[in-house]
């Protein structure tokens, strides 16, 4: 691979700043890589290569004039649910075809103000609410390590294109694992910020009330050193997202492994078993941290086994628009009718989306159980925060390495490991831990208490040094760009 495709955004920005390489060269290398891998992956669903080339030339001229911005001339990609001026913004919904915003989402605007150059937008699951990235607008995205496997969702296009080495970083969003699962399945880093740290203004769909802090916007990167600089650029209220709030962010460099409290929770204690290979990878990470002086203990936390039910009840309690009404752009769809149309391949919706529309009313039909789940969620939050303290928690990312297409429907609840951390509003970094015996990415979630994003990122940086971080997909290594 072209060495430029292996470097972090920070390193690329530094090389451009010093004149060691031009933005045009960096952008062209990544455009070439997209051209090599995307026909198989279907990760970038709309490109803006011509505009990116113009912006790269402008960045080189700006640098020659002495202009200095953190990401000046560095390419990136953007999840299609974020408004990017002039680009599609369907969120995988057929009814939104043709919609092209005339202004950038807040997070996109902040990245571009720092000098980043978007190459295009990437695929999502329908309305960003399922863990397999597939929809009736763009089709399905395939995993760069094995195209028969899923890329996760809903930021699956981002995970795949970053994992393939065709983008240094991407912008994702996460309400139930939509940054962390794609990062995990595609072998890269992803950070779900503390709830409210990064405004979600300008992405669709948008939740309401308390759920504004369950939905988080954050980076997906091939190198851990990019996470904190990108988070600093993205963070801070924008006066539009009512859930956004200010935090004084710490520095990863100030975190010391010696004496750091680490609680390793190997599964949810329920009906979602984790494969031995993933447990072993997490144990290796815990043991390595222990050898560096961290105070590691293994534990179970009561209540995690009800993660999906608690997540569903807390999301429902936020009283936002129903999923079936979002599918119908403000008018409830007839789910039964659409299921019949799906059977004969005439529905504009995917089966997971229709399934969610069907079951979303369960909390309202079982109000007593939903109220109990809310109380249990509050108690669970207190237990998790007490267990973590001023340290971190290691927790599985999913029950297995990237599963085959469609199989996450059977059963459809194995994403409990990521979802529960959204409603607890914790910062979480997804960390790659090498490849499995079958060549699929392994990894672990690193969580901390609210506002301590720098601690999870510090641990991610340390584990990258220990275990190598992102491993470019061996099957794509011979594709030149």
> What is the predicted pLDDT for the residue at 209?
83
Q: Tell me, yes or no, whether 348 lies in a domain.
A: no
SS3 481: coil
Is 154 assigned a catalytic role?
Answer: yes
How far apart are the C-alpha atoms of 336 and 23, rounded to whole Å?
Answer: 52
Q: Tell me, yes or no, whether 328 lies in a domain.
A: no
- Residues of the chain above pLDDT 70, percent: 99
| Tens of pLDDT, residues 49-92 | 999 999 999 999 999 999 999 999 999 999 999 999 999 999 99
> What is the predicted pLDDT for the residue at 59?
98
Q: Tell me, yes or no, whether 42 lies in a domain.
A: yes
Is 79 assigned a catalytic role?
Answer: yes
- Residues of the chain above pLDDT 90, percent: 92
pLDDT greater than 70 at residue 28: yes
Q: Tell me, yes or no, whether 400 lies in a domain.
A: yes
What is the rounded average pLDDT of the residues 341-361? 92
> What is the predicted pLDDT for the residue at 481?
47
Candidates 8, 167, 178, 436; catalytic one: 178
CATH at residue 162:
3.90.1300.10
Q: Tell me, yes or no, whether 214 lies in a domain.
A: yes
| Tens of pLDDT, residues 443-460 | 999 999 999 999 999 999
Provide the b/e sequence for 428-444 (b: ≥16 CB within 10 Å).
Answer: bbbbbbebbeeebbbbb
Q: In this structure, which long-range contacts are made by residues 31-34, counting pairs with CB atoms below 8 Å and at least 24 apart in sequence?
A: 31/75, 31/119, 32/2, 32/481, 33/1, 33/2, 33/5, 33/164, 33/165, 33/166, 33/479, 33/481, 34/119, 34/120, 34/161, 34/166, 34/167
Count of CB atoms within 10 A of residue 180's CB?
A: 34
Q: Tell me, yes or no, whether 317 lies in a domain.
A: no
Of 228-232, 288-292, 329-333, minimum mean pLDDT range:
329-333
Q: Tell me, yes or no, whether 395 lies in a domain.
A: yes
When the pLDDT of each residue in the chain is averaged and rounded to a whole number, the result is 96
Q: Locate 168 and state its tokens.
A: 């240094």
Q: Tell me, yes or no, whether 231 lies in a domain.
A: yes
Higher pLDDT, 185 or 321: 185
Answer for the pair 369, 361: CB distance below 8 angstroms, yes or no.
Answer: no
Candidates 154, 167, 397, 481; catalytic one: 154
pLDDT greater than 50 at residue 187: yes
Q: How many CA atoms lie within 13 A of 408 on its CB side?
A: 26
Q: Locate 49 and state its tokens.
A: 């290569």
- Give 350's contacts (C-beta < 8 A, 6+ positions apart): 125, 126, 130, 134, 135, 136
How far apart are the C-alpha atoms of 173 and 192, rounded to whole Å?
Answer: 8
Is 397 assigned a catalytic role?
Answer: no
Q: Locate 284 and state its tokens.
A: 């290796």
pLDDT-based confidence at 364, cuts 50/70/90?
A: confident
> What is the predicted pLDDT for the residue at 480?
58
Candidates 8, 22, 23, 79; catalytic one: 79
Q: Which of 389, 413, 405 is nearest to 306 (CA)?
A: 413
Give the domain extent around 256. 3-310+367-476
What is the rounded average pLDDT of the residues 252-279? 97
Structural domains in the chain (count): 1
């Amino acid at each position: 691979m072209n060495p430029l495709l292996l470097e972090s955004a920070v390193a690329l920005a530094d090389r451009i700043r010093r004149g060691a390489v031009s933005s045009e060269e960096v952008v062209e290398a990544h455009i070439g890589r997209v051209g090599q891998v995307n026909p198989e992956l279907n990760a970038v669903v709309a490109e803006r290569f011509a505009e990116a080339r113009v912006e790269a030339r402008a960045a080189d001229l700006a640098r020659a004039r002495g202009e200095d911005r953190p990401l000046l001339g560095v390419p990136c990609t953007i999840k299609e649910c974020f408004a990017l001026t002039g680009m599609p913004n369907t969120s995988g919904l057929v009814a939104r075809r043709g919609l092209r915003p005339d202004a950038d989402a807040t997070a996109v605007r902040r990245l571009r103000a720092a000098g980043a150059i978007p190459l295009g937008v990437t695929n999502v699951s329908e309305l960003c609410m399922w863990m397999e990235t597939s929809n009736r607008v763009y089709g399905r995205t395939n995993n760069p390590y094995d195209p028969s496997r899923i890329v996760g969702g809903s930021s699956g296009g981002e995970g795949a294109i970053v994992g393939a080495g065709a983008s240094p970083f991407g912008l994702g969003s996460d309400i139930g694992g939509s940054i962390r699962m794609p990062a995990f399945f595609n072998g890269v880093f992803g950070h779900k910020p503390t709830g409210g740290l990064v405004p979600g203004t300008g992405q669709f769909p948008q939740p309401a009330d308390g759920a504004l802090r369950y939905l988080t916007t954050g980076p997906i990167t091939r190198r851990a050193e990019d996470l904190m600089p990108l988070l600093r650029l993205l963070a801070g209220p924008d006066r539009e997202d009512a859930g956004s709030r200010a935090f004084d962010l710490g520095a990863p460099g100030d975190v010391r492994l010696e004496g750091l409290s680490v609680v390793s929770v190997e599964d949810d204690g329920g009906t979602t078993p984790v494969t031995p290979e993933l447990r072993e990878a997490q144990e290796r990470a815990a043991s390595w941290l222990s050898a560096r002086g961290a105070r590691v203990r293994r534990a179970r936390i009561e209540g995690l086994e009800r993660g999906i039910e608690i997540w569903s009840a807390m999301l429902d309690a936020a009283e936002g628009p129903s999923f079936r009404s979002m599918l119908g752009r403000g008018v409830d769809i007839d789910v039964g009718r659409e299921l019949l149309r799906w059977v004969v391949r005439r529905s504009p919706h995917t089966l997971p989306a229709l399934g969610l529309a069907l079951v979303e009313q369960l909390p309202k039909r079982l109000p007593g159980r939903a109220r109990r789940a809310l109380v249990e969620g509050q108690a669970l939050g207190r237990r998790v925060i007490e267990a973590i303290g001023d340290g971190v928690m290691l927790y599985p990312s999913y029950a297995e390495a990237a599963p085959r297409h469609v199989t996450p429907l059977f059963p459809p609840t194995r994403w409990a490991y990521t979802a529960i951390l959204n409603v607890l509003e914790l910062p979480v970094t997804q960390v790659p831990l090498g490849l499995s015996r079958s060549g699929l990415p392994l990894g672990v979630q690193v969580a901390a208490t609210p506002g301590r994003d720098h601690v999870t990122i510090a641990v991610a940086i340390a584990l990258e040094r220990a275990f190598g971080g992102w491993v470019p997909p061996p099957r794509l290594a011979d594709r030149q760009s």
